[in-house]
Amino acid sequence: MPRTRSLTALATALVTTCVLATACTGPSGSAAADDPKADVTLNFWHGWSAPGEVAAIEENIARFQAAHPNIKVKVTGNMTDDKINQALRAGGDKAPDVVSSFTTDSVGKFCNSGAFTDLGPFLAKSGIDATKVFPRTLLDYTRFDGNQCTLPLLHDAYGLVYNKDAFREAGITEPPGTWSRFVEVARQLTKPSGDSYERVGIMPTFHGYETTPMRLAAQWSPTYFTPDGRANLAGDPAFARMLSAQKDLVDKLGGYGRLERFRATFGDEWSAEHPFHQGKVAMQIDGEWRPGMAQEAGVTFEIGTAPLPVPDDQAADYGKGYLSGTVVGMARGSKKQNAAWELVKYMTTDTDAVVAFANAIHNVPSTLAALDSPKLQVTPEFKTFLDIARHPRSSTTPAQADGGTYQLTFTDFAYAVEKGEVTDIAAGLARTDRQIDADIAKAK
C-alpha cells in the first residue's frame, strides 16, 4: 500500500521538520567512527502499520540480522514524520538511528536541515555507484543540492486503473492514450442520475484521492524551477495547459459542485467502500496497489490497468507517469552510523531483499536489478506499473529546501481554478511563483 497523506497531515510534517541542523541533531563529530563488526543495537523507525506490511518489514529485518548476527535491530512502526522529527531533536539512546519515511516531499528539508546524514561517502566507501543501482527519477527525489541524504526503498508508479466490464458495455475497446480521447471516454462512461450520478467515468476533482495536480502535471512533463532555482509555474506553459484541461474535464462531466456532491458519497480510500470497488467510478488515477486491493474487496468486474493519458501533442511519450516512494535515511546524531549503514545498504541495495519486500507489500522495486529479477512476482496488471517506472520520461516533483510546501501552494491554486474562482490562470500562476520563491527563501 502506498503512503499518501492528506494535505493537512503533510503540512504538519513540513512545519515540524527541523530548520537548523544543530537544532535537530546536535553535534555529529566522529559519529561514523564506530566499528560495524562490534555488537550493537540499532533503533529503526518506520511508518508501516497494516499487519501484512508490519510483518513484511519484520521479515526483512530478520533476514538482515541473520546475515549480521552482531547487529540487533529494535523496530518501531507507525511513526509519522512529526514523531521522527521530535525524536531527532531530543536525541539520546532512544532516538532512531535509521528512519524510513513515506514523505518524499520532505527530503529537501531532511537534507537541507542536516537531520539526516549525507550517504554519499558511505556509498563511495562501499564501492556503490548509485546511478547504476537506482533509476534516475528515484535518485532525483532522494537527494537535494548534492546531498544524498536518503535512498529509495520501494516506490510507487501512478497510472490508470479501469473497469473493463464498463468499457465493454460502452463499446470501448482500449484505454485512452491521449487527453482528448480520455475526455471522450470519461463522458461516455458517465451515467447521470438526477442531480447526481449513478457512475462517473472519472472523478476529476483534485480532492479525489490520488488525482492531485502533481500527478496530472507529470503527463505534461513540466519544469517546476528554472536553472537558478526560481519557481517556473508561470514560465512553463505546461502548468496552465494542464489546469485548463482539467477544468474543462470537470465542466464536461457536470461541473465542480455536482461532482463534489457525488464525491461526498465515496468511502474511505483504503477500504472496501472505495468508489472504484463499488462501481461508482469507471476509471481511477491510482498506483500499483489498487488492482490487488480491489480484488481483495471482492469486485465482480474485470480490472484493467494502463498509463495515464498524455496531451495530444505528446502522444509519442505515452507510457510515462508520476513516480514517488518510500525513503530511508540515517540520523546525523547517531553514534552507530557505520552499523546503521549496513542496515540501510542491505534494505536498499540487496536485490533479494528488495524483491522480497516488494513482493510482500505489492510495491514497485526500487533498484534496476530488482526490477529485472526473475523472483519478482508480476501479474499483467502489475506489469503496467513496472513499465511506467521504467519509462525514460516518467518524472517526479523536485526536492526543495521547504520540503513540499511549494506543492501545497500549487495545489491550493489548482483548487481555486477547478472551482471557477480563478479566470486568469497566467496571472494566478505568477502570484503562486512569488509565494513559492518567498517560502523557499525563508526555508533557506
pLDDT at position 216 is: 97
Mean pLDDT by 10 residues, the chain (444 residues): 44 42 38 84 92 92 97 93 80 89 83 90 96 93 92 95 98 98 98 97 95 97 96 98 98 97 95 96 95 92 98 98 94 94 98 95 94 95 95 92 91 98 97 97 88
Task: Identify the architecture of domain 158-317 in CATH.
Answer: 3-Layer(aba) Sandwich (3.40)
User: Quick one: pLDDT at residue 26?
Assistant: 38
Q: Where are the beta strands (DSSP E) in 63-143?
A: 71-76, 98-101
What's the confidence (pLDDT) of residue 20?
Answer: 36
Read off φ and ψ for residue 111, nearest 5 degrees: -75, -45
Residue 304 pairs in a beta bridge with 162
Return the biggest CA–CA distance within the chain: 71
State the SS3 of 13-33. HHHHCCCCHHHHHCCCCCHHH
**Could you tell me the sign of the dihedral formed by the alpha carbons of 36, 37, 41, 46, in that order?**
positive
C-alpha cell at 333: 546524531
Burial class (CB in 10 A: 0-12, 13-18, 19+), 128: middle
Residue 286 confidence (pLDDT): 96
7-156+323-390 maps to which CATH number?
Answer: 3.40.190.10
Residue 93's pLDDT is 82
7-156+323-390 and 158-317: same fold?
yes
Burial class (CB in 10 A: 0-12, 13-18, 19+), 13: buried
CB 271 within 8 A of CB 263: no
Q: Are 207 and 263 in contact (CB under 8 A)?
A: yes
Per-residue model confidence (pLDDT) at position 414:
98
What are the sequence ranges of the domains in the chain? 7-156+323-390, 158-317
The pTM of the full predicted model, rounded to 2 decimals, is 0.86
The SS3 of residue 303 is: strand
> Cβ distance 356 to 60 under 8 Å?
yes
Look at residue 17 in the predicted model and tell me its pLDDT.
Answer: 43
The answer to whether the beta carbons of residues 320 and 391 sit under 8 Å apart is yes
Say how far apart CA 147 and CA 399 lie, in whole Å: 11
Say if residue 194 is exposed, middle or buried (CB neighbours under 10 Å; 0-12, 13-18, 19+).
exposed
